[in-house]
Structure 1
Amino acid sequence: MQLQTSRLVTLMLFLVIALSLAACGQTAAPSAQGSSTPAAPAPAPAASPAPAAAPSDGKITVEDAQGTVTLAKKPERIVTMDFSFTDMLITLGVQPVGIADDGSPALFMDAVKSQLKSYTSVGSRYEPNIELISSLKPDLIIVDINKHKNALPQLKAIAPLLVLNDFQADYDQMLKNYIITAKAVGKEEEGKKRLQEHQAKMEAAKKKIKNANMTVLPAVVNPTGFFGHSDHSYSGSMLKMLGYTDPLKNDTAYPQMTLEQLVETNPQALFLMPTDKVTIVNQWETNPLWKKLDAVNNNKVYTVERRDWSLSRGMLGSEKIAEDILKQLGE
């Protein structure tokens, strides 16, 4: 009997010791995870360095028309020196604080104007108000390498510049400018996504267009001049991208033309972008030579908004051009 009792006590003692050891093992694991020893980091903290993929100093580096531009941080107060740059920012969800709008908000296309909030007009695109720009305390100014070349030193003294080849740019260059701008304002991924959407719209437009290879000429007309937009220009190159033929075959983007030269070029369709209510075309229409144009005889002379076809060289402007083309020549 005593032997059985002794065995029972021994067994119970063994169980108590085993349970004690098991309990120690369970508490040991958490204490190891909480250790500051770098040789055995815990899984959760190991994920924390992920944000370090971006530069630790927050700098943004891009290549513009003049070389490498490094911005200290994502810009928040941007001044745009042309309508095309404003178009680009609006599609990226960025509001400029200042715009060179020639003192006329009416020059913004509707799709831009409807999304544009309050801003300060900094004067003419060709003669901006430097003091006013400085007072806005911008951290980025977007400029054209040709149009603003005389003002670059003054503007550079105010804020970092993003210099783009815009005024002489064709459609493909505009797309490149868009991605450069998107990266500069910290919206590179949004820009790539919007570009894909735009390209899908253009491909859809191509499929709906009729009379491919028709000779089509866009032109800006003012009271004293007619300026054809060749396929080296923004609107002319876009028409070429859509499948139309440039009748100018000119090495310059915006050649000024006489009525005689226009008759010799003889486009099958004309898209006129007037700067004023009365232009040189009103005078030409009374000339017998005007009636020799195929576009006139085909009833394919159209008036479109210069702000859509020429000023707003961006995603929204391009999509409006495609819309106008489809309305008049497609479907």
Structure 2
Amino acid sequence: MYSFIKVKITVLFAVLLLVVGCDNNKNNQKTDYSNIDVWKDALIIKHAQGETSFEYAPKKVAVFNIATLDIIDALNIPVTAVPQSDVHLPDFLSKYSDKSYTNIGTLFEPNYEVLSSINPDLIIAGGRATDAYPKLEKLAKTISLDIDSNNFLASLTERTRQLGWIFEKEKEASKLIEDFNQKIEQLKPKTSTAGSALMIMVNGGKMSAYGPKSRFGFVFDVLGFKPAAVFQEAGRHGNSITSEFVLSVDPQWIFVIDRDSAIGNKEALSAQQVLNNELIQKTAAWKNNHIVYLDSTSMYIAGGIQTYSRLMDQIEEALQKTSTNN
């Protein structure tokens, strides 16, 4: 878990005081120092790559981490530059594809020349640009605000608060967190009794599953769905599964992320096509119309506070349909 502390930095006026003192001795006058601010608040942010201090709110910001961009957008923090080359953003972040934002490369490969030319106050790395951090920090102040999937809710909350501190949006961040937690508390009584669930990703016609404490473990770890299967390895890329496996664990709910759709690949089979087979059709999830195709671009590309708020809305809607049908 990362946190922040405020420290007092002493501003040394030794030379100034010496000179003024000499003048005072000469003129035999008293000097009023009450209007000199000899202490200055500095914000120190602890993050995945170390610690970074802030003396003022950054104005010109370049963002590579789309999960962070998700939170920044929710807080209405101005952004100067984002990666736009071959980047497929979810609808609620589509405005960042506009030419009014400087294109700084791809999610994996920053355009260092363009970054240098815009001279940002702050670069937010992390996510898919983690490996670029050493080069980025040579260009400008750089932080990495990745969300820890092993401690998702606390980590997401802290990232939101940190951004509120950095950009002087503390009240807005607190309200955003409060609303998010309230939505969780309203949904949990329904999800915790809804039965077993399986979170799967479809990619290139194949399936992988994610359990608790994994990249997409939110439905288990936070909302309280019972895992239909538990895997030894969390794995960022999930655990390879087959339709036979899905039938064997027979989940009452299946939540689906279509990776090909998320990255804009229109040539691969859709998740609906992959799951439409005789084995999946025998599961309780299929029979009860409990297969939920999630906003894949949001889940796979973004993954911030807006993403998971929307996920809860989608699950709430699915549960409501079930309640209505019963």
Counterpart in the other structure of 2:86: 103
1:229-250 Cα offsets, whole Å, 9 max, x none, are 3222354224442221222322
Query: Matches of 1:192 and 1:252 in 2, distance apart?
Result: 31
Map of 1:152 onto structure 2: 133
2:84 pairs with 1:84: no
* RMSD between aligned residues: 3.2
Q: Is residue 191 from structure 1 mapped to residue 173 from structure 2 by the alignment?
A: yes
Q: Secondary structure at the match of 1:218?
A: strand
The structural deviation recorded for 1:285 is: 4.1
| Secondary structure at the counterpart of residue 157 of structure 1 | helix
Which digits, 9 at most, give the CA deviation of each residue in 1:42-75, with x for residues without a partner? xxxx9x89xx7xx954632111123321124211
Query: Which residue, 287, 290, 298 being the options, matches 2:280?
Result: 290
For 1:139 and 1:131, locate their aligned partners in 2 and report how far apart those are by CA, in whole Å.
16
Is 1:304 the counterpart of 2:294 in the alignment?
Answer: yes
Matching of residues 12-27 of structure 1 within 5 Å? none
Change (3 A) 1:286 1:85: closer
1:53-64 mapped onto 2 (5 Å cutoff): 56-57=39-40, 59-64=42-47
The equivalent position to 1:74 in structure 2, one of 24, 38, 57, is 57
Give the residue type in structure 2 aligned to 1:299. N
TM-score between both structures, scaled by the size of structure 1: 0.72
Does the C-alpha gap of structure 1 residues 323 and 239 become closer, same or farther in structure 2, counting only changes over 3 Å? farther
Q: Where in structure 2 are the equivalents of 1:1-331 lying within 5 Å?
A: 56-57=39-40, 59-104=42-87, 107-110=89-92, 112-113=93-94, 118-144=100-126, 147-166=128-147, 168=149, 170-207=152-189, 209=190, 212-250=193-231, 251-253=233-235, 254-259=237-242, 260-274=244-258, 275-276=260-261, 277=266, 278-279=268-269, 281=271, 284-285=274-275, 287-330=277-320
**Does the residue aligned with 1:221 lie in a helix, a strand or coil?**
strand
**Change over 3 Å in CA distance of 1:67–1:228 after alignment to 2:** same
Distance 1:315 1:295 in 2: 27
CA contact (8 A) 1:84 1:313 kept: yes
Q: Distance in 1 between matches of 2:102 and 2:40?
A: 31
Deviation at 1:84, TM superposition (A): 1.0
Q: In the TM superposition, what is the alpha-carbon distance from 1:101 to its structure 2 partner?
A: 4.5
- The percent of aligned pairs where both chains have the same amino acid is 20
Q: Is the 8 A contact 2:255 2:291 kept in 1?
A: yes
Task: Indicate the structure (1 or 2) with the bigger Cα radius of gyration.
Answer: 1
Q: Secondary structure at the match of 2:53?
A: strand
Q: Does the aligned pair in 1 maintain the 2:191–2:225 contact within 8 Å?
A: no
Pairs aligned (count): 281
Q: Contact (CA 8 Å) 2:148, 2:155: kept in 1 or not? A: no
Does structure 2 retain, via aligned residues, the 8 Å contact 1:82–1:101? Answer: no
Structure 1 residue identity aligned to 2:143: L
Contact 1:63 1:180 in 2 (8 A): no
Change (3 A) 1:135 1:231: farther
Structure 2: runs of 5+ lacking an equivalent: 1-28
What do residues 273-311 of structure 1 show as CA deviations (whole Å, max 9, x unaligned)?
A: 222354364564464333333222222112221123333
Q: Which runs of 4+ in 1 moved over 6 A?
A: 114-117
- Name the CA shift for 1:130/1:241 in 2 (closer, same or farther; >3 Å): same
CA-CA distance at 1:217 after TM superposition: 2.4
- Check whether the contact 1:217–1:229 (CA below 8 A) recurs between aligned residues: yes
Provide the C-alpha distance between the structure 1 equivalents of 2:249 and 2:311, rounded to a whole number of angstroms.
Answer: 22
Alpha-carbon contact 1:92-1:187 (below 8 Å) kept: yes
* Pair 1:211–1:149, CA change in 2 (3 A): closer
Select the structure that is richer in strand.
2
| TM, length-normalised to structure 2 | 0.73
Q: State the distance in 2 between where 1:167 and 1:226 align.
A: 24
Letter paired with 1:301: I
Q: Given the superposition, is the C-alpha separation of residues 299 and 167 from structure 1 closer, same or farther in structure 2, using an over 3 Å criterion?
A: same
Paired amino acid for 1:267: P
